[in-house]
Amino acid sequence: MATHFASLGKSLIDLVCLPPGNEPVPVLLAHKLALALQSEVVVWIVGQAQPWFWSLAGKHGRWPSEDFWQDCPPHTLEAIANGQGSTLTTEEWPLWQELFHLPCPRVEGVKTFFQGRENGLILTAHSCPVKGKSVQKKRQFPLQKLQDDLGVINQLLSGIELPNNELLQDLSSVNLAEFDPISTPHSSRNFFEESPILKIWYEASHRQLEQQKQWNEKLINNIITIMSDQTRNPLATIRMVVATLRATPPTPEKLEQRLEIIDQAWHKLNDINSKILQLKQLKQEGNQLQIQDLEVISLLKETIEHCPTLGKDNHKIELHYDHEINSVAADDDYLRQIFQELLANAQKFAVADSPIVVTVEQCDHTAMELKKKVKCTFSNHTVAIDAQNLQHLFDPFYREQWTIDSAIAGVGLGLTIVRTLIEQLNGKISVVGKPSSQPGQSIITFTLMIPESGATE
């Protein structure tokens, strides 16, 4: 059986590398998979794009609009995408009955991944006369066995421009049941010469490895530079105070002052160590999250109220929000730290006498998303940042040169921790910058997308 899976997976990959004819490759893949699984319908989704499909009913191609996902309950799609087959009634997802003429379809699916990142979704369906009837043995085909190969295929497809076909009534007479690149004349050809897709794959992989090498070298350089810069002054301070205490016995008042200086230096060093250890712990598997319904506005107000003032730069924090904000599903400690880090980051890098603006609004979900999101933004005026550098702000130990020159404390881990925290909560964070009306300044905005509590219809 394992050999059968391996053979099918390889034949699907070969079909991508050396497709017969000029038909859209995802439709050919869906057709071949349908033959192997004895399915009436196979839906093939690459990334976040509109679905491709093949159906026994005689319609195939790319779905032309977003209504493919209409009327599908998010919890149903989530269960199917996680490998739990579901027999659907007309009310649960009517499209299968209306377009594909399946009276009571058994729909199975699997998410596809490449290098840990989700890159698509495959759905298969066949008709079941009665809801709840056991699936015949010949119908049982665990897509999970093909998940790795399907992930590679979707990664290959994501590197090329796919045609925007509408619904097709006829598929060219390509006999996919007999097509086998190993036994055809194609097998003697050089894949790198004959397959433009494989060329793109190879070149993209080569660039990725080179970029990773450069990133690693830059990371090592940043660690050395930042650790040297941020630990030198606290260590020098501690050494100077200890030397002074040894040279001249201080009065009680002087002793207290010097101990306070040592304590401040220790806190700076401890903060560096704590952030490094926290990032290491967050990257490890098995973190126990306590997901609960949280009132995001109340939590933000509380965080802002207890936000310590940094320096004397007069940064007023403004909070704007819709009054009908739903609760979010998150870990209380994680979300508090995310808000604290973003506010501290804004205070640290905002120009003097400029506001820090926090907004919260309800966000509609897209067809591929299973839950609605609550959107939080944190904006502040800062020294102008090159747009090319924005993507690096979440990199560990990354700091803009002007922050180093201005002796602003930090090791470049705060935003890395924020991104790690929000991703573990199944949320997202992004950053944009735009020129300010003030010369030499930018308005930088961090956007959090936090999953709303419960499933949405």
Number of domain units in the chain:
3
Q: What CATH number corresponds to the domain at position 72?
A: 3.30.450
Cα of 214 vs its chain's centroid, Å: 22
282-291, long-range: CB within 8 Å, 24+ apart, which pairs? 282/417, 282/420, 282/421, 282/424, 283/420, 287/424, 289/331, 289/334, 289/424, 289/425, 290/331, 290/332, 290/333, 291/329, 291/330, 291/331, 291/425
* Pair 362, 443 in one domain: yes
Note whether 220 and 304 are same-domain residues. no
- Which residues, in sequence order, are bridge partners of residue 451? 373
Residue 136 confidence (pLDDT) = 46
Identify whether residues 252 and 369 lie together within a single domain.
Answer: no
Residue ranges making up the domain that contains 29 = 2-189
- Alpha-carbon span 363 to 450, nearest angstrom: 10
Co-location of 358 and 344 in the same domain: yes
Is residue 350 domain-shared with residue 436, that is, in the same domain? yes
* Torsion (CA) 253, 257, 258, 264 in degrees, nearest 10: 160
Which residues are within 8 A (CB) of 238 and not within 5 positions of it... i.e. 6 or more apart? 262, 265, 266
Helix locations, 144-185, DSSP H: 147-158
Select from 141, 162, 189 the last residue of a domain. 189
Q: Let me know whether 251 and 395 are in one domain.
A: no
| Helix (H) or strand (E) segment spanning residue 214 | helix 196-247
142 lies in the same domain as 51: yes
Residues 246 and 322 in one domain: no
Residue 311 sits in the same domain as residue 453:
yes
Pair of tokens at residue 150 = 């399907």
CATH number for the domain spanning 263: value is 1.10.287
Residues 114 and 204 in one domain: no
Question: Do 179 and 34 share a domain, yes or no?
Answer: yes
Q: What pLDDT does 319 receive?
A: 92
Bridge partners of residue 356, in order along the sequence: 317, 380
Beta bridge partners of 331: 291
Q: CATH number for the domain including 324?
A: 3.30.565.10
- Reduced to 3 states (helix: H, G, I; strand: E, B; else coil), residue 406 is coil
The predicted structure's pLDDT at residue 1? 54
* Same domain, yes or no: 232 and 372: no
284, 302, 319 - which closes a domain = 284
Tens-binned pLDDT, residue by residue, of the chain (457 aa): 555 667 888 888 888 877 776 678 889 999 999 988 888 899 999 988 888 899 888 888 888 777 787 777 777 788 888 777 788 877 778 788 777 888 888 888 889 988 788 889 999 988 876 544 444 444 445 688 888 889 888 888 886 656 555 555 555 545 555 555 444 444 434 544 555 566 666 676 777 777 778 777 777 877 777 777 778 888 888 888 888 888 888 888 888 988 999 998 888 888 888 888 877 777 765 567 888 999 999 999 999 988 877 555 667 889 998 888 888 999 999 999 999 999 988 888 888 888 899 999 987 655 445 568 899 999 999 888 877 778 888 888 877 777 776 767 777 788 888 999 999 898 999 999 888 888 888 899 999 999 998 744 3
Which of 189, 220, 246 represents a domain boundary (last residue)? 189
Look at residue 186 in the predicted model and tell me its pLDDT: 43
